[in-house]
Amino acid sequence: MKLAVFESRGRPRWTRLAALLTALEKGRPEAEASVDELPVLYRQLCNDLALARERELSSALVAELNDLALRGHRLLYQARTGQWHQIGAFLARDFPRAVRREWRLLVLCSAIFYGLALGIGAVVYRTPDVIYSFMSEGSVQRFEEMYDPEGGVATEVRSADDDARMFGFYIWNNVSIAFRTFASGLAFGVGTILSLVFNAFSFGLVAAHLVRVGSAQTFFGFVIAHSAFELTAMLLAGVAGMRLGLALVAPGARTRLASLRGAARQSLPILAGAGLMLVVAAGIEAFWSPRLLPPTVKYAAGAASWAIVVSWLSFSGRVSGD
């Protein structure tokens, strides 16, 4: 291929790429509409550069294309690392700060959930038949079989495909529960409270019954690690839902719609962070919790998980004066 033919074919692309890179480097608003072109033009440029070097075309042209390639690589690399930097900053700073701003609602939701779970658990432990007032005999039996110390909730033989399948299921299940807890706050907060009550009753009933029938170690060994992220995320979804409900109950000087919009913006970082926590919880539940390991290892991992969550939300992102 002659230099003139090669250059005539590639020059329009190179000119377009150079203009786009310049606009993006200078932060011009009009470049945003064409940013999707950048990866395609960059790949074509890399092919052209490789061909020019292979066929030993003009050294000046090779230098020009190489310069464009370096600029494109730098811009693309910065864009990708910038996205990760934003996510990291959100998790390390913005999310914990948003949670701490709503500490009163977090205390309220925690008191509702853990208070009811402990209360109903104490009743079930003392009066075992009470559980059948809330759950069918078949459901109770399934939980007993699932967490039977001789059963299969913890195993060494589950395949990687099964782990991946359960990971997807746990994400869907946990996120759907959290979203319902949040969205039901639109019913003036009552729906969120009812969701917390329902989940507290379910957890307290099952936990107390399994402790009473001798499956405490199996049950808590399975749930302790992922529960730090899962239960905390559910409570944070409750916090976000309560914020919506309070905006409707007490909008102040604003209209209810304006108050709701403000509450939604305020709650969004909490809801997004809770969603990421549920993904982590699903990963632990799918890939770690079923592993057949000594109880001390399971409890140590659980203690570490709770320490990480509490420390992260309590101290991360603090500045002097916080």
Residue 231's pLDDT is what? 97
Q: Is the pLDDT of residue 321 over 60?
A: no
Q: What is the pLDDT of residue 198?
A: 95
CB 49 within 8 A of CB 62: yes
Residue 151 backbone dihedrals phi, psi, to 5 degrees: -85, -160
pLDDT band, residue 78 (cuts 50/70/90): low
pTM of the model: 0.73
Winning range, highest mean pLDDT, from 19-23, 74-78, 177-181:
177-181
Average pLDDT value for the chain: 87
Instruction: Summarize the confidence of residues 208-222 as an average pLDDT.
Output: 93
**How does pLDDT run across 1-60, given as a tens digit for each residue?**
577 888 888 888 888 888 888 887 776 655 555 667 778 888 888 888 888 888 777 888
Rounded distance, CA 280 to CA 232, Å?
12
Verify that 32 and 168 share a domain, yes or no: no
Reported as a pLDDT band with limits 50, 70 and 90, residue 229 is very high
CA 62 from centroid of its chain's CA atoms: 45
| Residue 24: closest CA among 16, 13, 32, 14 | 32
Q: Are residues 182 and 250 in the same domain?
A: yes
Tell which of 60, 87, 114 closes a domain.
Answer: 87
Q: State yes or no: pLDDT of 144 exceeds 60.
A: yes
Residues 130 and 68 in one domain: no
| Residue 21 belongs to a domain | yes
Distances in Å between the alpha carbon of 135 and those of 24, 102, 148, 200, 206? 61, 34, 18, 14, 9
69 and 210 fall within a common domain: no
Task: Assess whether 69 and 116 both reside in one domain.
Answer: no
- 207: pLDDT confidence band, cut at 50, 70 and 90? very high
Place of tokens 């033009």: 41
3-state DSSP assignment of residue 292: coil
Q: Is 321 contained in some domain?
A: no
Q: Is residue 311 part of a domain?
A: yes
Nearest CA to 91 out of 260, 257, 279 is that of 279
**175 inside domain:** yes
276 and 162 belong to one structural domain? yes
Tokens of 250: 């007490």
C-alpha radius of gyration, the chain, whole number? 28
Of 38, 54, 87, the residue at which a domain comes to its end is 87
Residue where a domain stops, chosen among 63, 87, 111: 87
Q: What is the DSSP letter of 252?
A: T
What whole-number distance in Å separates Cα of residue 19 and Cα of residue 22? 5
155, β-bridge pairs: 291
Q: Are residues 282 and 228 in the same domain?
A: yes
Instruction: Kindly give, in sequence order, each residue whose CB lies less than 8 Å from that of residue 136, ignoring residues fewer than 6 positions away.
Output: none
- My answer on whether 292 and 167 are in the same domain is yes
The total number of structural domains that make up the chain: 2
> 319: which DSSP letter?
-
pLDDT in tens, 255-272: 999 999 999 989 999 999
Q: What is the pLDDT of residue 22?
A: 83
Residue that is written with structure tokens 């944070």 in the block: 236
Q: Does residue 304 sit in the same domain as residue 257?
A: yes
Containing structural domain, residue 141: 102-315
Q: Could you tell me if 181 and 310 lie in one domain?
A: yes
> What is the pLDDT at residue 141?
92
Is 291 strand, coil or helix?
strand
3 state SS of 155: strand
Question: Does residue 94 sit within a domain?
Answer: no
Tell me, what's the pLDDT at 42? 85
Same domain, 50 and 161: no
Q: Domain for residue 92, yes or no?
A: no
Confidence of residue 74 (pLDDT cuts 50, 70, 90): confident
pLDDT score of 179 more than 60: yes
